[in-house]
């Protein structure tokens, strides 16, 4: 199949006016003339370890790899959580369409490393360009994707509008809109509506998200479910798992996973409250951002705790009370070890993390009150006894104490969570069936079928209302 190249608009002024209304025009103008400021911000991020020095040009739209021949699907996912939610989708798409190649873009260093290890053959990773119009155009000029799938809610205006201008079909996958983002966008209807109209379909996580997206101008909106609920099992190295099991032996153990600043201190408080009654208690803390591990270990050590740091290859000894697992891609390893898991990002106002990852790995699940990003599954878990909410550190002490003391309760809670997780497998098939409308025509053109439709749409799907 000959690659059909899309052309960038020839004139700067023509490209700006009419893009997202007056605010969109101003945004495009400012991000274009603000090149020196953007470069300064990139350098600051690089110093803080938030950019990849060897691949910084990708953030400027300069490709680090050649475009593969044949049809190319571009999937943009903001970071690790979004990327992991579409990993099974990537695998299934490649199985279903043997001529297809997939480009996955993200914006974080940790997600790039993880995808570099896990993406299958015919799938590749690049950093998404910073949303500056010349860099966006450079990116699209090189990759000229046949279609673009955006994941969740990271809507970069220049990137969305420029992709739309080139006639590249776009679908918003696993779409959501947080309460705060929804409130902000509602104040800018002339800006958000052109962005939403660029998508031939929006596949929302649930009816609540669908209602918000419809109000912002999305049409059509479908509700196949949350792809994070159909994600594959988190992997674990078998040798590492065996070695850790040997180290821990029969010590009581629990994990505080994907923690954010402030939650490590809460987990440590719980550990110290329970250590006397649970001889040998091991608390495993897994920071959401592994780069924080060294600082967390130092802070907890200064407070008198016996801490070991995984990234420094410090072994778990009989005296180790707290183990900081500050490595990338090992969450599945520690869920398999613990049996009791606090899902982080929930004791502080962050919105929570995915409960179904520990649910698939035989964990009794605890979480704080701030689970706004996963409210539907939280409600289902609560109704069926698969997870328990704790309001604060004292309630967490009580919940962990109870689960450590009552293995039968732990097992029943974990079984209920696993049962809920198993019912979500069909979501992926539903999403794939919706995407077939776009991808079948691309595959047909790859086979040389000139009668295949050139414009792709999912508009035959049913609407979901608020």
Active centre residues (catalytic)? 82
Residue 344 · residue 374 · CB < 8 Å: no
Cα-trace Rg, the chain: 23
DSSP, residue by residue, 6-69 = PPPPS-HHHHHTTSSHHHHHHHHHHHHHTHHHHHHHHHHHHHTT-S-GGGGGGGGT--SSPPPS
Please state, in angstroms and rounded to a whole number, the distance separating the CA atoms of residues 141 and 143: 6
How far is 38 from 53, CA to CA, in rounded Å?
A: 16
DSSP conformation letters of 72-93: EEEEE--SHHHHHHTHHHHHHH
Q: Please tell me the distance from the alpha carbon of residue 346 to that of residue 353, in angstroms, as a whole number.
A: 7
The answer to whether the CB of 353 falls within 8 A of the CB of 268 is no
How far apart (Å, rounded) are the C-alpha atoms in residues 139 and 76? 13
Instruction: Report whether 459 contacts 220 (CB < 8 A).
Output: yes
| 3-class secondary structure per residue, 140-179 | HHHHCCCEEEEECCCCCHHHHHHHHHCCCCEEEEEECCCH
Residue 287 in 3-state DSSP? strand
The residues pairing with 151 across neighbouring beta strands, listed in sequence order, are 173
Among residues 82, 228, 95, 215, the alpha carbon closest in space to that of 152 is found at 82
* Residues with Cβ within 8 Å of residue 115, at least 6 apart in sequence: 83, 104, 106, 125
87 Cβ contact list (under 8 Å, min separation 6): 118, 231, 232
Q: Parallel, antiparallel, or unpaired for β 322-324 and 282-287?
A: parallel
d(C-alpha 22, C-alpha 191), whole Å: 8
Whether the link from the prior residue into 220 is cis, omega within 30° of 0, is yes
How far apart are the C-alpha atoms of 302 and 204, rounded to whole Å? Answer: 46
């Amino acid at each position: 199949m000959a690659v059909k190249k899309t052309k960038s608009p020839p004139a700067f002024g023509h490209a700006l006016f009419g893009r997202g209304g007056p605010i969109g025009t101003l945004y495009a103008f400012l991000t274009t003339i603000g090149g020196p400021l953007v470069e300064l911000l990139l350098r600051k991020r690089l110093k803080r370890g938030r950019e990849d020095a060897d691949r910084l040009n990708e953030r400027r739209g300069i490709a680090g790899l050649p475009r593969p021949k044949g049809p190319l699907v571009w999937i943009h996912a903001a970071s690790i959580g979004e990327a992991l939610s579409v990993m099974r989708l990537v695998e299934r798409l490649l199985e279903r369409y043997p001529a297809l190649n997939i480009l996955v873009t993200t914006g974080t260093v940790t997600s790039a490393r993880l995808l570099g290890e896990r993406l299958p053959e015919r799938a590749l990773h690049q950093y998404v360009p910073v949303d500056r119009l010349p860099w966006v155009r450079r990116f699209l000029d090189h990759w000229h994707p046949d279609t673009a799938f955006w994941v969740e809610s990271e809507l970069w205006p220049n990137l969305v509008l420029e992709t739309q201008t080139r006639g590249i079909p776009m679908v918003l996958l696993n779409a959501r809109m947080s309460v705060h983002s929804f409130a902000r966008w509602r104040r800018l209807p002339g800006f958000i509506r052109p962005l939403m109209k660029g998508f031939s379909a929006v596949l929302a996580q649930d009816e609540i998200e669908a209602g918000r997206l419809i109000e912002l101008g999305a049409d059509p909106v479908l509700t196949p479910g949350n792809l994070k609920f159909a994600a594959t099992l988190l992997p674990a190295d078998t040798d590492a798992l065996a070695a850790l099991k040997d180290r821990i032996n029969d010590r009581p153990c629990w994990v505080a996973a994907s923690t954010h600043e402030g939650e490590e201190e809460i987990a440590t408080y719980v550990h110290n409250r329970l250590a006397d009654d649970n001889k040998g208690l091991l608390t495993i803390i897994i920071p959401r951002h592994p780069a924080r591990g060294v600082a967390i270990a130092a802070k907890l050590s200064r407070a008198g705790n016996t801490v070991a740091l995984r990234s420094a290859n410090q072994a778990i000894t009989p005296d180790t009370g707290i183990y900081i697992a500050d490595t990338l891609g090992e969450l599945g390893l520690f869920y398999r070890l613990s049996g009791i898991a606090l899902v982080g990002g929930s004791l502080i106002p962050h919105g929570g993390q995915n409960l179904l990852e520990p649910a698939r790995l035989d964990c009794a699940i605890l979480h704080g009150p701030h689970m706004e990003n996963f409210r539907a599954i939280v409600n289902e878990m609560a109704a069926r006894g698969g997870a328990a909410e704790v309001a604060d550190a004292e309630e967490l002490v009580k919940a962990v104490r109870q689960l450590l003391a009552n293995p039968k309760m732990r097992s029943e809670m974990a079984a209920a969570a696993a049962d809920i997780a198993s019912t979500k497998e069909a979501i992926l098939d539903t999403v794939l069936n919706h995407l077939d409308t776009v991808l079948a025509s691309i595959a047909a053109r790859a086979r040389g079928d000139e009668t295949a439709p050139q414009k792709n749409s999912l508009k035959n799907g049913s609407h979901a209302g608020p």
